[in-house]
């Protein structure tokens, strides 16, 4: 990246966002305050990336910023007031303005201690990385780059403005952010930053689970998650925030009878990413990164370290690693404060990821196919992605065979779905009909009858009401 290209990209982006920066710059200047576009928007402008989410920093205090934005924007919020941030929306633009500040952590605290600053230079000095420590003064559009962020962008490297030790001491979450930015930008990380992350990895334990979770989600959903994950594992941070991942670095047996599980996992993640367009096309999910399918790919084999066994002939087995892995996954996601819906979705995918291997070359009955769909539920399309991504064999013939076999399974699912509405499988009789036929009231017996009819539906497909009634009466008589 040449400096002339950087300047051209910045000029083009500043012209695009001129309706915001010129107006706000003039308003703050008229009120006697400094204002600068700062951080990610400046970095992205230099990379030629457009965004309608703009961050500013100012000499104005929050109450002064609040008055200015209320006279300019369409809607306002101040959830970040305790950190000096006031936000607003105007048309398609989302703006957040933060008072110059400096913040640091008490060694035992989970929350930053916010102090307002009095200069742009001081504010930039407390930023996490040099590529985020650049600003554009407004309304004059002068670029401020006191820490060489432009050069680091050109060299594609993540570096801290001051010493990484001081930066990570001030806010240990920045160690996670280094890995996240590596994954998002595809940049390398300065060796001094890596060394500090390694030495200070224990410091991450003072950060709340929610903040760690949010950084992990951003990393996993980035364009190059392998870069960030390898950095977390290599520095020891993963041992503190996602220990199941480095645990996959199993010592290989001397005869190499099983794959490198850690490398296999990262490959599965990358292959799941390649298959994500299927989720938008077949499941109607939003286009772009899908955290659930990506995290399921990352966690699908975490049960292997707990279940590895060497048989007498030296063969390595991992019996029930799907079930064990699902339990470990749920426990880790719960510790990281994920939502119950996300925990259930990822946990179910991990538990089901081996189910396809019982399909053989198509020996499943229609009943087994129905149960596969029933058990996958709303995660069926994600399970398709995970199962296909889990094929990492270098044997082209075997890989082609597995792909064709799964094509066959999907075709059968599509056919049965069209014929039987598999996505909403229900018994052929509902609860009210069951009670009327058997002459019973609400209670446990109705649930047992319902379960019997559901299993019958899965085994036989749709039945007429007459046949279902006869089967129910026969079951009831023989209980």
H helices of 275-311, in order, are 277-283, 291-299, 304-307
Q: Looking at the structure, do residues 48 and 36 belong to the same domain, yes or no?
A: yes
- Residue 419: band (very low, low, confident or very high) from pLDDT cuts 50, 70, 90: low
CA distances (Å), 65 to each of 29, 34, 85, 98, in order? Answer: 12, 11, 9, 8
Domain boundary among 155, 171, 203: 155
User: CB of 171 within 8 A of CB of 112?
Assistant: yes
Q: Residues near 333 by Cβ (< 8 Å), separated by ≥ 6?
A: 342, 343, 346, 347
Burial of 238 (0-12, 13-18, 19+ CB in 10 A): buried
Residue 244 has pLDDT above 80, yes or no: yes
Together in a domain, 96 and 75: yes
Burial 287-317 (b: 16+ CB within 10 A, else e): eebbbbbbbbbbbbbbbbbebbeeeeeeebe
Q: What is the pLDDT of residues 5-42, one digit of tens each?
A: 777 788 888 999 999 999 999 999 999 999 999 988 99
Same-domain check for residues 352 and 411: yes
What is the structure's pLDDT at 222?
97
- Return the half-sphere exposure (C-beta side, CA atoms, 13 A cut-off) of residue 320: 7
- Cβ burial of 356 (10 Å; 0-12, 13-18, 19+) is buried
The residue from 197, 219, 242 where one domain ends is 242
Which residues constitute the domain of residue 124? Answer: 1-155
Smallest CA-to-CA distance from 55 within 82, 27, 17 is with: 17
Integer Cα distance of 181 and 167 in angstroms: 16
Find the Cα–Cα–Cα–Cα dihedral 68, 69, 70, 76, rounded to 10°.
-150
Domain tally for the chain? 4
Q: Are residues 183 and 316 in the same domain?
A: no
CA–CA separation, 35 vs 30, rounded Å?
Answer: 11
> Which pLDDT score, from 0 to 100, does residue 24 have?
95
Q: What is the pLDDT of residue 362?
A: 72
Written as six digits, the tokens of 81 are 């007031």
Structure tokens given for 108: 């035992």
CA atoms of 17 and 55, how far apart (whole Å)? 12
User: From CA 309, how far away is CA 126, in angstroms rounded?
Assistant: 50
Looking up residue 403, the CATH number of its domain turns out to be 1.10.3210
Q: At what angle do helices 225-235 and 191-199 cross, to 10 degrees?
A: 50
The pLDDT value given to residue 254: 44
Rounded CA separation 151/143 (Å) = 14
pLDDT score of 352: 95
Q: What is the CATH number of the domain that holds 221?
A: 1.10.110.30
Q: Is 70 exceeded by the pLDDT of residue 444?
A: yes
CA–CA gap between residue 372 and residue 390 (Å, rounded): 17
Q: Mark whether 324 and 266 lie in a shared domain.
A: yes
Sign of the Cα torsion 69, 74, 80, 85 reads negative
In the prediction, which pLDDT does 472 show? Answer: 85
How far apart CA 361 and CA 401 sit, in angstroms, is 9
**Do 74 and 131 belong to one domain?**
yes
Q: d(Cα 12, Cα 3) in Å, to the nearest integer? A: 14
Res 157 pLDDT > 60: yes
What's this model's pTM, rounded to 2 decimal places?
Answer: 0.82
Residues 257 and 208 in one domain: no
Encode pLDDT of 100-148 as tens digits: 987 555 666 656 667 888 899 989 988 999 999 999 999 999 999 999 9
pLDDT at 421: 63
Q: Is the alpha carbon torsion for 371, 377, 381, 387 positive or negative? A: negative
Residues 203 and 274 in one domain: no
Q: What is the pLDDT of residue 103?
A: 59
- Residue 255 pLDDT > 60, yes or no? no
Strands 35-38 and 53-58, by their bridges, are antiparallel
Residue-wise pLDDT tens digits, 369-380? 888 888 898 899
CA distance linking residue 42 with residue 153, whole number of Å: 11
Please state which of the ranges 52-61, 89-98, 281-290 shows the lowest mean pLDDT: 281-290
Look at residues 127, 155, 183 and tell me which one is the last residue of a structural domain: 155
Interaxial angle between packed helices 62-70 and 18-30, expressed in degrees from 0 to 180 and rounded to the nearest 10: 120
For the CA atoms of 325, 327, 331, 336, what is the dihedral angle to 10 degrees? 50
The answer, yes or no, to whether residue 338 has pLDDT greater than 60, is yes
Highest mean pLDDT among 151-155, 219-223, 302-306, 413-417: 219-223
Q: What is the CATH number for 40? A: 3.30.460.10
Helices (DSSP H) in 366-395: which residue ranges?
Answer: 366-376, 380-389
Place of tokens 């085994």: 459
- Are 210 and 220 contained in the same domain? yes
List of residues 6+ apart from 283 with CB closer than 8 A:
380, 381, 382
Asked whether 134 and 144 are in contact (CB, 8 A), the reply is: yes
pLDDT above 70: residue 470: yes
Q: Which pLDDT belongs to residue 93?
A: 93
Reported confidence tier of residue 423, pLDDT bands at 50, 70, 90? low
Cis peptide before 181 (omega within 30 of 0): no
Say what percent of the chain tops pLDDT 90. 56
In a shared domain, residues 229 and 80: no
Q: What would the mean pLDDT of 206-210 be, rounded to a whole number?
A: 95
Q: Which residues, including other chains, have CB under 8 Å from residue 312's CB and lie 6 or more apart? A: none
Question: Cα(214)–Cα(336) distance, rounded to whole angstroms?
Answer: 9
106 and 9 part of one domain: yes
Same domain, yes or no, for 214 and 112? Answer: no
Residue 363, burial from CB neighbour count under 10 angstroms (0-12, 13-18, 19+): exposed
């Amino acid at each position: 990246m040449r400096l002339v290209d950087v300047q051209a990209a910045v000029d083009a982006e500043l012209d695009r966002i001129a309706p915001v920066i010129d107006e706000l710059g003039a308003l703050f200047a008229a009120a006697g305050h400094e204002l600068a576009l700062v951080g990610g928007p400046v970095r992205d402008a230099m990379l030629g990336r457009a965004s309608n989410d703009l961050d500013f920093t100012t000499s104005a205090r929050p109450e002064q910023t609040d008055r200015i934005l209320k006279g300019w924007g369409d809607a306002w919020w101040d959830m970040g007031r305790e950190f000096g941030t006031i936000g607003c929306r105007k048309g398609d633009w989302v703006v957040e303005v933060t008072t110059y500040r400096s913040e640091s952590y008490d060694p035992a605290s989970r929350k930053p201690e916010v102090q307002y600053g009095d200069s742009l230079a001081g504010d930039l000095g407390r930023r996490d990385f040099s590529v985020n420590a650049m600003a554009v003064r407004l309304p004059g559009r002068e670029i401020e780059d006191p820490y060489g962020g432009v050069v680091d962008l050109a060299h594609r490297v993540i570096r801290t403005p001051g010493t990484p030790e001081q930066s990570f001491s001030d806010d240990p979450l920045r160690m996670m952010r280094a890995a996240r930015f590596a994954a998002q930008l595809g940049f390398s990380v300065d060796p001094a930053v890596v060394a500090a992350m390694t030495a200070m990895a224990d410091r991450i334990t003072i950060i709340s689970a929610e903040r760690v979770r949010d950084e992990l989600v951003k990393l996993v959903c980035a364009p190059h998650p392998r870069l960030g994950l390898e950095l977390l594992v290599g520095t020891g941070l993963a041992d503190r925030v996602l220990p199941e991942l480095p645990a996959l670095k199993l010592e290989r047996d001397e005869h190499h009878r099983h794959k490198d599980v850690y490398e296999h996992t990262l490959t599965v993640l990358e292959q799941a990413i390649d298959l994500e367009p299927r989720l938008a096309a077949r499941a109607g999910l939003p286009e772009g990164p899908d955290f659930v399918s990506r995290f399921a790919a990352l966690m699908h084999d975490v049960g292997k370290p707990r279940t590895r066994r060497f048989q007498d002939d030296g063969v390595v087995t991992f019996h029930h690693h799907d079930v064990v892995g699902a339990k470990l996954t749920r426990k880790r996601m719960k510790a990281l404060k994920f939502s119950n819906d996300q925990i259930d979705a990822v946990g179910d995918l991990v538990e089901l990821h081996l189910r396809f291997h019982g399909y053989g070359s198509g020996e499943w009955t229609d009943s087994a196919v129905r149960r596969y769909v029933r058990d996958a539920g709303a995660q069926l399309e994600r399970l398709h992605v995970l199962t296909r991504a889990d094929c990492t064999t270098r044997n082209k013939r075997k890989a082609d065979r597995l792909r064709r076999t799964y094509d066959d399974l999907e075709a059968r699912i599509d056919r049965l779905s069209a014929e039987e509405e598999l996505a909403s499988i229900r018994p052929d009789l509902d609860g009210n009909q069951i009670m009327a036929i058997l002459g019973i009231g609400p209670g446990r017996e109705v649930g047992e009858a319902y379960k019997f009819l559901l299993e019958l539906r899965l085994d036989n497909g749709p039945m007429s009401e007459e046949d279902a009634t006869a089967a129910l009466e026969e079951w009831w008589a023989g209980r």
